C-alpha cells in the first residue's frame, strides 16, 4: 500500500520534468520560469515539513497520512485545471504543502514496523514506486499529454490517487504505538528538541545535500534529451519506459545487497557510479537512442544505490518518540535544498536560438561535488549507526 501511495506522490513530482519540453512552449515560459514551477513544490513542501514536525508524533500515523494525502490530491486537481503559468505555480505550491509531508510519514511508518536489518529490503520495495512511475506513469502521462494536452497527466494522477486513498482508508491498520512514548505536551517544544538535537545535525546536513543532484538534473532531462541529444518527442516515452523497467528490478536488488553487504558500502558504490554516469550524461551530444537508454539505466542504477541505503541508514538515527518529527524535518530540508537546486539549475542553464540547452555540463560538475561531499559525511553517519547496534 505504501509503495502504491509513493507511486502517485513520485509521479506527481516527476511528471513535470518530462513535460518540460511541452510545458515551456505551451505556457510561453523560459527555463528559469520552468525551474520556478519545479521549485515551488519543493519550497512549499519544505515549509509544510517544518510546520508539521511538531505534530508528526502526536497523531496516529494513518490519520496523518490520509489528511495530507487528501490535500495532495486536491493540489494535483488544481494543476490539472490550471489555465496559465501563475495558476500552475500556485497549484504546485498547494500540492507541495500537503505532498511534502507524506514521504516523511511513509518513512516513519516503515521504521515503526520493520527492524533495521530488514530496512534495506523494505526501502527497496517502497522505492520501487519510483521505477513503477517510470514504467507506467511517465510513458502514460506523456502519451496522454501528447494526445489531450499537458493537463491530462495531472488528472490521471488524481484518478489513481482517489483509488489509493480509498484502499489505505479501508485496509491500513492504525499506527499509534509511538503515542505511548510522548513526553512533550507542547508541539513547539517537540520540534525545537528535534531541530537542535546535536545527534541529528549531521543527518540533516547530509539529507539536504543528497537531494540536490536529482533536483538539478531531472527538471531539464526531457528538454536536454530532445534538444541536445536529438531524440524526438515520440520516442521519449520509450526511454522512460525501458529505464523504469531497469529500475524496477534494481531497487529490490539494491535493498537486499544493502542488508547483506552493508548500507554504507552500497552507498559508496552507488555514489561512484553516479558520478561517472553524470559526467558522461551531461557531456553528451547527438546520441543514438540505444546509447541514451543505456546511459539512463546506469545513471538510475547509481541513484538507487545511493538513495535506498541512505534512507535505511537515516531511519536508525532518531528515537521512536520523535521519529515522525525527525522525518518531517529531514523531508523539509530535502525539499528546500532541492528547490534551491532547481532555481540554481534554471539560472545556470540557458537556451540557444535553435533550442539547445547551454552549460548543462556545469550542472554535472556541481552534482559530482555534492556527491563526493555526501560520501565523506555519510561515513560518520555509518559509524554512529554501527555504534548503536
Model pLDDT, residue 376? 93
Contacts with 104 (C-beta within 8 Å, 6 or more apart), sequence order: 49, 52, 56, 324, 327, 328, 330, 331
Are the C-beta atoms of 266 and 257 separated by less than 8 Å?
A: yes
Of residues 3 and 53, the one with the higher pLDDT is 3
- Cα-only R_g, the chain: 20
Cα–Cα distance measured from residue 184 to residue 178, given in angstroms and rounded to the nearest whole number: 12
Model pLDDT, residue 96? 87
Of residues 187 and 228, the one with the higher pLDDT is 228
- Measured in whole angstroms, the distance separating CA 174 from the mean position of its chain's CA atoms is 26
Model pLDDT, residue 272? 95
Query: Which is nearest to 250 in space by CA: 368, 127, 136?
Result: 127
Query: Which is nearest to 262 in space by CA: 316, 314, 309?
Result: 309
148-167 per-position pLDDT tens digit? 778 888 888 899 889 988 99
Cα–Cα distance measured from residue 289 to residue 303, given in angstroms and rounded to the nearest whole number: 21
pLDDT at position 122 over 80: no
67-106 per-position pLDDT tens digit? 989 999 999 999 889 888 889 899 999 998 888 788 778 8
pLDDT at position 135 over 70: no
pLDDT at position 261 over 60: yes
pLDDT band, very low/low/confident/very high, at 288 (cuts 50, 70, 90): very high
Q: The pTM is what?
A: 0.72
Model pLDDT, residue 295? 93
Model pLDDT, residue 293? 92
**Cα 344–Cα 278–Cα 347 angle in degrees, nearest 5:** 15
Cα–Cα distance measured from residue 59 to residue 96, given in angstroms and rounded to the nearest whole number: 21
Residue 149 region by backbone torsions, left for phi larger than 0, else alpha for psi between -120 and 50, else beta: left
Query: Which is nearest to 199 in space by CA: 300, 318, 47, 78?
Result: 318
> Rounded to 5 degrees, what are φ and ψ at 358?
-105, 150
pLDDT at position 182 over 60: no
pLDDT band, very low/low/confident/very high, at 54 (cuts 50, 70, 90): low
Are the C-beta atoms of 209 and 338 separated by less than 8 Å?
A: no
Model pLDDT, residue 265? 92
Residue range 225-239: mean pLDDT, rounded: 85
- Measured in whole angstroms, the distance separating CA 386 from the mean position of its chain's CA atoms is 27
Question: Please, what is the average pLDDT of the chain?
Answer: 81
Model pLDDT, residue 3? 77
**In the 3-class helix/strand/coil scheme, how is the chain assigned residue by residue?**
CHHHHHHHHHHHHHCCCCCHHHHHHHHCCCHHHHHHHHHHHHHHHHHHHHHHHCCCCCCCHHHHHHHHHHHHHHHHHHHCCCCCHHHHHHHHHHHHHHHHHHHHHHHHHHHHHCCHHHHHHHHHHHCHHHHHHHHHHHHHHHHHHHHHCCCHHHHHHHHHHHHHHHHHHHHCCCCCHHHHHCCCCCHHHHHHHHHCCHHHHHHHHHHHHHCHHHHHHHHHHHHHHHHCCCCCHHHHHHHHHHHHHHHHHHHHHHHHHHHHHCHHHHHHHHHHHHHHHHHHHHCCCCCCHHHHHHHHHHHHHHHHHHHHHHHHHHCCCCCHHHHHHHHHHHHHHHHHHHHHHHHHHHHHCEECCCCCEECHHHHHHHHHHHHHHHHHHHHHHHHHHHHHC
Model pLDDT, residue 133? 63
Residue 304 region by backbone torsions, left for phi larger than 0, else alpha for psi between -120 and 50, else beta: alpha
333-351 per-position pLDDT tens digit? 877 787 788 778 888 888 8
Amino acid at each position: 500500500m505504501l509503495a502504491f501511495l509513493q507511486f502517485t506522490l513520485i509521479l506527481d513530482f516527476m511528471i513535470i520534468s518530462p513535460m518540460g519540453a511541452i510545458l515551456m512552449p505551451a505556457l510561453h515560459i523560459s527555463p528559469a520560469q520552468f525551474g520556478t514551477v519545479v521549485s515551488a513544490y519543493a519550497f512549499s513542501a519544505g515549509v509544510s515539513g517544518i510546520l508539521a514536525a511538531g505534530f508528526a508524533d502526536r497523531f496516529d500515523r494513518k490519520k496523518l497520512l490520509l489528511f495530507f494525502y487528501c490535500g495532495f490530491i486536491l493540489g494535483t486537481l488544481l494543476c490539472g485545471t490550471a489555465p496559465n503559468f501563475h495558476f500552475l505555480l500556485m497549484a504546485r505550491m498547494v500540492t507541495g504543502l500537503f505532498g511534502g509531508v507524506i514521504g516523511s510519514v511513509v518513512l516513519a511508518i516503515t521504521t515503526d514496523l520493520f527492524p533495521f536489518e530488514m530496512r534495506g529490503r523494505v526501502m527497496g520495495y517502497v522505492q520501487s514506486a519510483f521505477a513503477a512511475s517510470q514504467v507506467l506513469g511517465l510513458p502514460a502521462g506523456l502519451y496522454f499529454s501528447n494526445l489531450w494536452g499537458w493537463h491530462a497527466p495531472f488528472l490521471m494522477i488524481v484518478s489513481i490517487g482517489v483509488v489509493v486513498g480509498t484502499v489505505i482508508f479501508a485496509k491500513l491498520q492504525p499506527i499509534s504505538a509511538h503515542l505511548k512514548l510522548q513526553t512533550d505536551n507542547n508541539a513547539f517544544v517537540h520540534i525545537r528538541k528535534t531541530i537542535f538535537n546535536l545527534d541529528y545535525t549531521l543527518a540533516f546536513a547530509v539529507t539536504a545535500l543528497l537531494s540536490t543532484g536529482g533536483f538539478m538534473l531531472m527538471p531539464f532531462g526531457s528538454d536536454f534529451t530532445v534538444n541536445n541529444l536529438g531524440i524526438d518527442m515520440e520516442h521519449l516515452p520509450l526511454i522512460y519506459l525501458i529505464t523504469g523497467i531497469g529500475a524496477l528490478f534494481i531497487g529490490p536488488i539494491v535493498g537486499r545487497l544493502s542488508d547483506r553487504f552493508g548500507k554504507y558500502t552500497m552507498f559508496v558504490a552507488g555514489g561512484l557510479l553516479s558520478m561517472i554516469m553524470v559526467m558522461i550524461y551531461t557531456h553528451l551530444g547527438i546520441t543514438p537512442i540505444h546509447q541514451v537508454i543505456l546511459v539512463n539505466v546506469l545513471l538510475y542504477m547509481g541513484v538507487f544505490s545511493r538513495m535506498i541505503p541512505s534512507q535505511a541508514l537515516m531511519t536508525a538515527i532518531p528515537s521512536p518518540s520523535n521519529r515522525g518529527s525527525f522525518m518531517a524535518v529531514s523531508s523539509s530540508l530535502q525539499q528546500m535544498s532541492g528547490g534551491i537546486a532547481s532555481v540554481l539549475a534554471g539560472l545556470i542553464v540557458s537556451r540557444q536560438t535553435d533550442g539547445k540547452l547551454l552549460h548543462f555540463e556545469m550542472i554535472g560538475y556541481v552534482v559530482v561535488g555534492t556527491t563526493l561531499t555526501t560520501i565523506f559525511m555519510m561515513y560518520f553517519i555509518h559509524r554512529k549507526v554501527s555504534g548503536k547496534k
